[in-house]
Amino acid sequence: MDKQPTSRNCFMCGRENDFGLKMKWYNDLDAGQVWGEVVVPAHFNSYPNVVHGGIVAAILDETSGRALMVTGEPLDELFITARLEVKYFLPTPVNQTLKAVGWVVKRTSRIGHVAAELRLPDGTITARCEATVIRPTRKFNEKTSWDNTEQDWRVEE
């Protein structure tokens, strides 16, 4: 399994983000998928012992988008989400190891259709997403300094 890079301050994977989830993702080349595990602390709940739906959506968003990074150069495969549809099947529990799995449905050089699931340890799916992601435009890059973030990314050993 190849480990994907993480960044310094990202909410999902940021090594230096004290408030983030510090997720790590791995490429499963045989399955054509990316996966990561996370334990969401109780301070990200909505109802008692249930992960807030926005946090579930963020995990699925990141995991589905990272599916584009499975076979290419990771920093050449950074896309932004244009549309995200989440279906919630069951409450997602806090303080429990969850597995997020993402894959590419279809892609071109500029647009990707991706999907992801969030699973309990027994494989039960609590939520699933489908997303459309796009390659950032030059205007986006200029407004966000996107092109200057490469030094923030690395693969942790």
Q: Give the pLDDT score at 8.
A: 84
Q: Report if residue 157 sits inside a domain.
A: no
Q: Report if residue 78 sits inside a domain.
A: yes
Choose the most confident range, by mean pLDDT, from 106-110, 138-142, 148-152.
Answer: 106-110
Query: Is the pLDDT score of 1 beyond 80?
Result: no
Flag whether the pTM goes above 0.95.
no
The domain spanning residue 77 has which CATH number?
3.10.129.10
Q: Report if residue 156 sits inside a domain.
A: no
pLDDT digits (tens, 9 = 90+) for 37-57: 999 999 999 999 999 999 999
Q: Report if residue 137 sits inside a domain.
A: yes
Q: Report if residue 155 sits inside a domain.
A: no
Average pLDDT for the chain: 88
The encoded tokens of residue 146 equal 């996107």
Domain count, the chain: 1
Q: Report if residue 98 sits inside a domain.
A: yes
Query: Is the pLDDT score of 74 beyond 90?
Result: no
Q: Which domain holds residue 138?
A: 2-144
Q: What SS3 state is found at 29? A: coil
Q: Report if residue 28 sits inside a domain.
A: yes
Q: In what order do the strands lie in the sheet with 2-3?
A: 2-3, 24-28, 33-39, 97-107, 111-119, 125-134, 80-88
Q: Report if residue 37 sits inside a domain.
A: yes
Residues 6+ apart with CB under 8 A from 40: 21, 51, 55, 59, 92, 94, 95, 98
